[in-house]
Chain A
Amino acid sequence: MRDLSYDAVISRKNEIMKKAVGIDYEKFMISDLVFDYEKMMDEVGYSLDKVREIQAETGVGNTTLVELKQINRLIKKIAPKGKGARIFIKDEATNPSGSYKDRRASVSVYHAQKHGYKGVIAATSGNYGAAVASQAAKRGLKCIIAQECYDSKWIGQPEILEKARSCEAYGAEVVQLTVGPELFYYTLVLLEETGFFNASLYTPYAIAGVETLGYEIAEQTKEKVGKYPDIVVITHAGGGILTGTARGLKKAGATNTEIVAASVNLKGLHMARDNDFNKKYFTTGHTGFGIPFATFPDRSDVPKNAARALRYMDRYLLVSQGEVFYITEMLAQLEGMQRGPAGNTSLAAAFALALEMDNDKVIVVNETEYTGAGKLPSAQLTFARKMGMEIKRGDPIKEDIPGKSIVIPEHPSQIGYIELDMENVRKSYVKEVMKRYNKKEFNMEEVSFMAEDTNTTEEKIKQYIKELGGELIETKKG
């Protein structure tokens, strides 16, 4: 019988993953830290044309780019003279399972089917589960979704309970766990038991699937306004939607579009803490994932994560839970689009940006997501009240305290953002590398890789290394 203890299963990780993902990551590794990212994306990923073909087979993508005309009128009303950029939104909720995640699942499930796997498994508490389940249904594969869902009192997060319902509606088995990072451990157990394909969120297949989103945004924006977007605002958690969208934009030629990440600020709440689990009312798109995944992407379930947000992120903005609930109401009430709320994190940030940008600028928000029971602001806030949260109208920037109070703006002009210093974020990346690889000395090849991986100069990386107490070994490349 297999040893199912935590340590035994984790020690079998590499062999289980190799079978379940079918990628030999060793091929792209130069050292533990350094690997050839573009080679991995080229050799393992599918071409953009092929991805479009795969997605067309299951009705994924080609969603509408909608101008938020009423919201844009509102912005012009309250913005200073000459300011007030136009916002367009990519209505990804119209994908088969209701979010952009269908794109992310489509290539993995296609690949699994092509290579004779009988089923697919994904560890996810979010929309991705429904997407994998839906794609698996379309391709006749079995599907297991493993969720982190309950606290120790068996109180389930309503948004996650809704995802479970959705997955079951597509015929998937849903395994629901209590709080803890061992979701990954149990996913390995399931992969080993079933021999199914690991439809990880972080393989090159997953990211290749999202590139079509960026490509469509570039094409559609150009068609509608005669130029590529000035800014694309992207809700940021694990980094996949940002990476895929940015790569797609570049492939379409939109190389000057600024990539802005937005997360809900949940500072102070610990993701793996049982007591904190039901104090957050966004199960994704928040700093609990956004910052760790940006600064150390290789914490994912694959040896090298294809979602590497810092390669493409130009700015990183934080908004509060209350602002996102408010903008979700605005989208429903003024635009007739009931969506989100989690996917509207980027819309809240876009609204704040639009108020300060010139009125000839164009902002694209790259997603919407389906909503309903469990997900709606009314469902989330009813639950929040039950969990003892204070909910009030007020100034969201000044009064919001994650885990204590949710502050709904009193006026749209109160929607703002907190901007993270990208230099600090990049420095944190270097700090994480030092910690994770237990490394103090860096050669030039490593410096060069880290510069590329964080979209900065080698000089900056050298400076961070020195500031963090590390050393440089001055050897030549190769």
Chain B
Amino acid sequence: MLAKKGDWVQIQKTLLKPEERTAPLPEDTKKLPLQMRVKGFLLNESADIGDEVEIETLIGRRVKGTLVAVNPKYEHDFGEPVPELITIGIELRKILEGDKNA
């Protein structure tokens, strides 16, 4: 068992199947379901990834869905150094110092 009651988890739920998406949509989006992910504390005694579970969110709302992550990580970061950006500061200071050809 991967997750136990009270663990901070993320679940996934299909809100609308492709055929239920009746809003005007571009072709590629129309073929896909509208899905949701939400995080909360696991209410089931224990669960594995892929199990149908229930969670309680940060504001106390209960939501059911498929377990997709336990203690989900924030995966966004500062990125890699970008060569096209690194030299901009040096270039601009050169112009300020009077080198018109910088």
Asked if A and B are interacting partners, one says yes
Residues of A within 8 A of B (CB): 5-7, 70, 73-74, 77-78, 119, 142-144, 149-150, 152, 154, 156, 158, 161-162, 165, 168, 171-182, 185-186, 194, 270, 272-275, 325-326, 329-330, 332-334, 372-374, 376-383, 391-393, 408, 411-412
Once A and B bind, how many residue pairs between them come within 8 Å at the CB atom? 161
One of B35, B79, B102 near A382 (C-beta < 8 A):
B79
Contact A152 B78 (CB under 8 A): no
**A70, A78, A373: residue with the most chain B Cβ atoms closer than 10 Å:** A373
Interchain Cβ contacts under 8 Å between A and B, 17 examples = A6-B16, A6-B23, A74-B92, A143-B59, A154-B37, A168-B58, A174-B38, A181-B23, A272-B26, A273-B28, A330-B92, A377-B82, A380-B79, A381-B79, A381-B84, A383-B79, A408-B88
Contact B32 A178 (CB under 8 A): yes
In angstroms, Cα B37 to Cα A168, docked, is 14
Contacting residues of chain B (30-84) with chain A, CB-CB under 8 angstroms: 32-40, 57-61, 74-82, 84
Other A-B pairs beyond A150-B35, A329-B85, 8, CB < 8 Å: A144-B59, A154-B37, A168-B58, A177-B36, A178-B32, A186-B34, A378-B85, A379-B79
Least CB distance from B12 to A in Å reads 9
Instruction: Give the residues in chain A near B96, CB-CB below 8 Å.
Output: 70, 73-74, 77, 334
Contact B23 A185 (CB under 8 A): yes
Instruction: Give the residues in chain B near A154, CB-CB below 8 Å.
Output: 37
With A70-B96, A381-B85: A182-B76 Cβ-Cβ less than 8 Å: no
Q: Which residue of B lies closest to A160 (CB)?
A: B76
Instruction: Give the residues in chain B near A176, CB-CB below 8 Å.
Output: 36-38
One of A178, A182, A274, A374 near B77 (C-beta < 8 A):
A374
Contact A180 B75 (CB under 8 A): no
Contact A272 B29 (CB under 8 A): yes
Contact B36 A329 (CB under 8 A): no
Least CB distance from B101 to A in Å reads 10
Instruction: Give the residues in chain A near B100, CB-CB below 8 Å.
Output: 77
One of A172, A177, A186, A376 near B79 (C-beta < 8 A):
A376
Instruction: Give the residues in chain A near B57, CB-CB below 8 Å.
Output: 173
Least CB distance from A429 to B in Å reads 20
Contact A172 B28 (CB under 8 A): no
One of B26, B33, B76, B81 near A156 (C-beta < 8 A):
B76
Instruction: Give the residues in chain A near B39, CB-CB below 8 Å.
Output: 168, 173-174
Contact B79 A77 (CB under 8 A): no
In angstroms, Cα B98 to Cα A379, docked, is 32
Instruction: Give the residues in chain A near B38, CB-CB below 8 Å.
Output: 173-176
Q: Which residue of B lies closest to A277 (CB)?
A: B29
Q: Which residue of A lies closest to B32 (CB)?
A: A152
One of B76, B84, B89, B95 near A161 (C-beta < 8 A):
B76
Instruction: Give the residues in chain B near A379, CB-CB below 8 Å.
Output: 76-79
In angstroms, Cα B37 to Cα A175, docked, is 6
Least CB distance from A329 to B in Å reads 4
Instruction: Give the residues in chain A near B25, CB-CB below 8 Å.
Output: 180-181, 272
Contact A326 B82 (CB under 8 A): no
Instruction: Give the residues in chain A near B60, CB-CB below 8 Å.
Output: 142
Instruction: Give the residues in chain A near B21, CB-CB below 8 Å.
Output: 6, 180, 182
